[in-house]
Amino acid sequence: MKILGIDIGGSATKGALVNTETGELASERIRYGSQTVQKPKQIVKAIGKIAQELNYDGVIGVGFPGIVKRGVIESSANLHKDWIGTNLARLIENEIGSKAVILNDADAAGMGEMRFGGDAIREKDVVLFLTIGTGIGSALFVKGNLLQNTEFGHLLVNQDEAEVYASAAVKRIEKLTWKQWATRFNEVLKVYEFLLNPDIFILGGGVSARFEKYSRYLTVSTKVVPAKLENLAGIVGAAMAAKESLL
């Protein structure tokens, strides 16, 4: 079964068709970036363009960087304030005519990893998935069950929010070396380790593909691994959420 997965980020909206049996992309990945903070209607139009380019009119899975409850956006730290209170599921249905399943973007990416990251991950009792990009998103799984809408990127670390202290955007903006950034990120992991005692950390987002550059600087006791799906996990997981909504 092929389903359209969408990953909304702080700087771009990306989407592709996903083979929900294998977790592999079944089309090219289409990306619409922006230099400005985008409002709901702008991003919904981008989603419509992606669906049109892929000739797709079925159910759509969408990961959004904030708290999502029953298709309504309740927080939006890295996007326009107009998102708060927006029923994104309804907007997409009105614009495109397709049913949409909306969930937090890190929850979506974590779901992708839990479904296709291998038995070694699924067998863990407590899994903390972290997506590292414009901010730090989190998805916590306990015995395979997702605790939705965790926002561990906003926990304080050295008097700053974790994502203000050690996101991938901070590395770029402050021009940190891999060692400098990883030393900061390791402090974030120590806080999560102390509070949650997970069996494994899984790192997603663009930096997951560069794991060899910084892994030696991560000294937490908990095992840390890069996401198998790398930065495609959000698209894959969003599509899986849409598929599972049909069951």
pLDDT at position 122: 84
pLDDT at position 35: 75
Distance CA 133, CA 87 (A): 25
What are φ and ψ of residue 222, in 5° steps?
-70, 140
Extract the tokens encoding 173: 């903006």
Q: Which of 41, 139, 37, 135 is nearest to 92 (CA)?
A: 41
- 143: alpha, beta or left, given left = phi > 0 and alpha = psi -120 to 50? left
Domains of the chain (ranges; CATH) run: 2-107+233-245 (3.30.420.40), 119-227 (3.30.420.40)
pLDDT at position 121: 87
Looking at every residue in the chain, the average pLDDT score rounds to 94
pTM: 0.91
Paired with 205 in beta bridges are none
Q: Is 214:190 a contact under the CB 8 Å cutoff?
A: no
- 14-23 confidence digits (pLDDT tens): 999 999 999 9
**Sheet strands (E) in the chain:** 2-8, 12-19, 24-25, 30-33, 60-64, 68-69, 72-73, 100-104, 126-132, 136-142, 145-147, 156-157, 160-161, 200-204, 223-226
- 144-180 confidence digits (pLDDT tens): 999 999 999 999 999 999 999 999 999 999 999 999 9
pLDDT at position 103: 97
